[in-house]
Structure 1
Amino acid sequence: MSDYFDRETDGGYTRVYKEHTPDILGAFSAFNNTVFAEEGREIPLKYRELIALAVGVSTQCVYCIEAHTQKAVAAGASEAEVAEAAWVATAIKAGGGFAHGRLAFKLGQTHEH
């Protein structure tokens, strides 16, 4: 996916959303701004940005990884915290593989058991 990532020009494609679905884009932007508001949330911004970074690592979204890493650092996250957030995502993603592997055993059972 990163082969398609071009921070110089990709933002220009937002015009399609603006042209065809401005109401949805506006609602999404308002929602996103509320989620990442500096004040008024129980979880401090630094930690919300680290959560977003971990989700970006898990979903392998280069845009999210770039944006939320930069925002986490701007909110005070250290390099060690960024590393740990990436490892948390890695552990959870690997855990999903482990758990779903068990599902394969369940679904592969014959009726003899």
Structure 2
Amino acid sequence: MTDFFDRTGDAAYTRVYKEETPDILQTWAAFNGAVFATEGREIPLKYRELIALAVGVTTQCAYCIDSHTQAALRAGATKAELAETSWVATAIRAGGGFTHGRLAFKLAENPPHQH
């Protein structure tokens, strides 16, 4: 996926959303704007951006990693905070593999009934 990532050129394709589903795009933009509003939220913007970065790292979305890294830096995040955020996401992703592995053991002990 990242082979196709073009920070400046890819935004041009937003025109398809504008042409085909402008109502949904407008609703999403308003929702996204509310989530990342600079004021009026309990969690400071820097932390919301770091959360978004962690989700981007977990889902491996180059666009999210790019945009939320830049937004986190603008909101005052340090490189150390970016590093710790990435490690948290990595630990959670690895933990998911660990716990789902246990599910495999459980299913191996209790195979489904054959019909």
Alignment TM-score, normalising by the size of structure 2: 0.94
How many aligned positions are there?
A: 111
Q: Greater CA deviation, 101-110 or 16-25?
A: 101-110
The percent of aligned pairs where both chains have the same amino acid is: 71
CA distance in 2, matches of 1:64, 1:38: 18
CA distance in 2, matches of 1:44, 1:8: 28
For residues 18-65 of structure 1, the C-alpha deviation after alignment (integer angstroms, 9 at most, x for no partner) is 111000000000000000000000000000000000000000000100
CA distance 1:110–1:48, shift in 2 (3 Å): closer
Structure 2: unaligned runs, 5 residues or longer: none
Deviation at 1:107, TM superposition (A): 1.1
Confirm whether residue 74 of structure 1 aligns to residue 74 of structure 2: yes
CA distance in 2, matches of 1:54, 1:82: 9
Corresponding residue for residue 63 of structure 1: 63
Aligned AA (2:81)? E
Corresponding residue for residue 88 of structure 1: 88
Corresponding residue for residue 42 of structure 2: 42
Q: Greater CA deviation, 60-69 or 5-14?
A: 5-14
Structure 1: unaligned runs, 5 residues or longer: none
Corresponding residue for residue 2 of structure 1: 2
Q: CA RMSD in A?
A: 0.9
Q: Following superposition, which runs of at least 4 residues in structure 1 exceed 4 angstroms of deviation?
A: none
- SS of 2:7's partner is coil
Aligned AA (2:41)? R
Alignment TM-score, normalising by the size of structure 1: 0.95
- SS of 1:40's partner is coil
- SS of 2:6's partner is coil
